[in-house]
A and B are shown apart, each in its own frame.
Chain A
Amino acid sequence: MVDIKIDLREVEKLPVIEVTGEVDVYTAPKLKSRILSLIDNQQYSMIIDLNGVDFMDSSGLGVLVGGLKRVGPHEGSIALVLNRPNILKIFKITGLDKVFKIYGSVEEVPK
């Protein structure tokens, strides 16, 4: 069975969720849980680093969109770090590349 690894670190006081592995209908709930735990702690702005993700389907997109909806009312933001073509493709297919702010590296994200 495939699994994902989710690590949390901080860069200039901004939480960074680092995701490694495959995000699908089985593993997406783990990512959701981590995002929700930050929101529960009133951290409404975060970076999600997807450069370690090998595969993502619409289950993962749903989790990210759900997170964005939750931080929106608190004037928060979710910045995605993503430069893998196969993962970027599903964002483009669904038009979500225009919804999320996507950066090539954590360093590029405005803090």
Chain B
Amino acid sequence: MALLKKSLNKNQAINLKIPAEPSFISLVRLVVAAHLRENSVLEEEIEDLKLVLSEFLAKAIEARLTDIFSLEITFEKGLVTILVQDLEEFKPDELFNSPYLNFEAISKLIDDFDLTLGGKQRIEVKITKRFNFQ
């Protein structure tokens, strides 16, 4: 079962912990889209972010980067930042050569896709997108 922790604070942050399994990716899309809709973000831009999230999480599952996704999603002044933490050590071959949409295509849909080395040789991925409102 998913360990779902939804906490909205002053900065409108959502923290999710879900199993890194294909059946749970839709849950992430659902939570993020519902919150953006609540904040009157344009539907087209919500769809772009849903696609980016799905593609990246599918890639990470394919590359077996983690058993549990730890996602921190923050909304502030029209900017959404999604931080995927605690991924295993970077495996470029598995991550870049998977059959899903490539990073170049993903990058066209968002403002920034940043992959950095975290502690203990783990990586963090930061997806950033600035939104327009209805």
Q: Given A25-B54, A25-B58, A90-B51, does the pair A58, B29 have CB atoms closer than 8 Å? A: no
Contact call B58/A85, Cβ cutoff below 8 A = no
* Distance between A55 CB and nearest chain B CB, rounded to angstroms: 6
* Distance between B58 CB and nearest chain A CB, rounded to angstroms: 4
Asked whether A1 is an interface residue with its Cβ less than 8 Å from the other chain, the reply is yes
A/B pair count, beta carbons within 8 Å: 56
B residues engaging A (CB < 8 A)? 22-27, 29-30, 43-44, 47-48, 50-51, 54-55, 58, 61, 99-101, 105, 108-109
Contact call B26/A26, Cβ cutoff below 8 A = yes
Contact call B47/A93, Cβ cutoff below 8 A = no
Name the B residues within 8 Å of A89 (CB-CB).
Answer: 47-48
Q: Residues of A within 8 Å of B, CB-based: how many?
A: 17
Contact call A2/B30, Cβ cutoff below 8 A = yes
Q: Which 3 A-B pairs have the closest CB atoms?
A: A2-B26, A26-B22, A86-B47
Q: Would you list 18 pairs from A and B whose C-beta atoms are within 8 A, ordered by A residue?
A: A1-B23, A1-B26, A2-B30, A24-B54, A25-B25, A25-B58, A26-B26, A55-B29, A55-B50, A55-B54, A57-B55, A58-B101, A59-B100, A62-B99, A90-B51, A93-B105, A93-B108, A93-B109
